Amino acid sequence: MALKVGRLEVGLRLLVSFTSIAIAYGYLGSYLSTLTTNHNQTLAGLVFALAIAGIFAIPQSLGGLLAMIASVVVVYWQSNLIYSLITLGVCLVLYWLGFSDVDYHPEPDKKLSIVEILATIVTLTLTIAISISLLQIPVSWIASIATGFLAATITLIGKQIKFLELSKITNFIILGILTSSSLAIGFAIRAIFYTPKFTDFL
């Protein structure tokens, strides 16, 4: 099953990944609004810079396992063991489905380039930031599932995008439009309709 927009055909699993990234960046925008409203401009600036860097880092990152571990640790720290296991379970199921979909083959002997190392560091840090922002969801088990989706998506979306057979610049533009618009929408919704609610990290 695929969604066709002009000459661009997006598979169902890539569409799910795009949706997951959009929701995650929406909550990150909401988190930015919380920081800004509470006059934490320095941290807000760092989170914003991280969100922008993530547009270029996510498609090149090889830190999927680290992202999964980080998201599980964040959920455990903020809630309890049961919810962290829910996050872990969602990650593993999506890994299994996603890696078979993109015909992934690990290369343990491959040496990482500087770009891949930096992309992995940025992606890991971004995963932690978005996991914190997703914990604004008031229902804990939904937040746990959303965090699991995020960690799995960040790992898979780079390889899924390659199946579109577009140039790297086009891929970055697609991801940039998706993430920046979601970030802006999340920021606006939190600023207009909600009273900021901090997590235990703040």
pLDDT, one tens digit per residue, over 84-116 is 899 889 888 887 776 555 555 555 556 767 887
pLDDT at 188 over 50: yes
Q: Which two tokens stand for residue 41?
A: 């401009």
Residues 6+ apart with CB under 8 A from 32: 44, 47, 48, 51, 183, 186, 187
C-alpha 62/C-alpha 71 separation (Å) is 16
Residue 49: per-residue pLDDT: 92
pLDDT at 70 over 50: yes
Asked if 61 and 157 count as a contact pair (C-beta separation under 8 A), the reply is no
Residues 6+ apart with CB under 8 A from 116: 60, 61, 62
**Highest-confidence segment of 63-72, 124-133, 163-172, 191-200:** 124-133
pLDDT digits (tens, 9 = 90+) for 125-167: 888 888 888 877 766 788 888 888 888 887 777 777 766 667 7
C-alpha 176/C-alpha 115 separation (Å) is 19
CA within 13 Å, CB half, 61 = 29
Cα dihedral angle (46, 52, 56, 57), rounded to 10 degrees?
30
pLDDT digits (tens, 9 = 90+) for 43-60: 889 989 999 998 888 877
C-alpha 33/C-alpha 31 separation (Å) is 5
